[in-house]
């Protein structure tokens, strides 16, 4: 799902994309020169256990709030990552792909490796 930046107005529109079993859906609208995107990641994703290397499914239910810019963004906004697109479109699959990649890079332990692990905090 690619949306032309020029066609995005200040009225909210909805989007929904799916990749590798993960659903990313929500709303987007123009906010000054940026596009404000609020959505939710849902369903499940297969990740690799950091200890035994086994693939297992994790459940996802995560709020996503980000901003997109048509080209290089030179300003800064507190607390927000501004995603830059260079072809004149907001590409929701690409956004979802980036989120999936960053979730996969997190530290995950499968249920078998989790035993006893939950309570060993480092101080
Ligand atoms: Zn494991």
Q: What is the pLDDT of residues 31-77, one digit of tens each?
A: 988 999 999 999 999 999 999 999 999 999 999 999 999 999 988 88
Ligand 1 centre from 121 Cα, in Å? 18
What does DSSP assign to residue 81? P
User: Dihedrals φ, ψ of 88, to 5°?
Assistant: 85, 5
How confident is residue 91, by pLDDT bands cut at 50, 70 and 90? very high
Intra-chain end-to-end CA distance of the chain, in Å: 45
What integer pLDDT is reported at residue 116 of this predicted model? Answer: 58
Q: How far is the CA of 54 from the centre of ligand 1 (A)?
A: 6
For ligand 1, a single-atom ion, which residues have Cβ within 5 Å? 49, 51-52, 110, 113
Residue-level pLDDT at 2:
95
Q: 55 CA to middle of ligand 1, Å?
A: 8
Mean pLDDT, the chain, integer: 91
What pLDDT sits at residue 78?
A: 82
User: How far apart, in whole angstroms, are the C-alpha atoms of residue 116 and residue 121?
Assistant: 11
CA distances from 58 to 53, 76, 106, 107 (A): 14, 33, 12, 12
Q: What is the pLDDT of residue 27?
A: 98
């Amino acid at each position: 799902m690619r949306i032309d930046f020029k066609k995005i107005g200040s009225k909210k529109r909805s989007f929904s994309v799916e990749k590798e079993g993960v659903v990313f859906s929500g709303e987007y609208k123009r906010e000054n020169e940026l596009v404000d995107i609020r959505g939710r990641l849902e369903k499940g994703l297969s990740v690799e256990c950091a200890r035994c290397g086994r693939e297992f499914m994790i459940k996802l239910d995560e709020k996503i709030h980000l901003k997109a810019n048509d080209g290089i963004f030179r300003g800064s906004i507190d607390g927000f990552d501004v995603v830059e697109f260079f072809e004149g479109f907001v590409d929701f699959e690409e956004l979802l792909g980036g989120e999936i990649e960053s979730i996969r890079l997190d530290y995950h332990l499968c249920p078998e490796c989790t035993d006893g692990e939950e309570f060993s905090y480092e101080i």
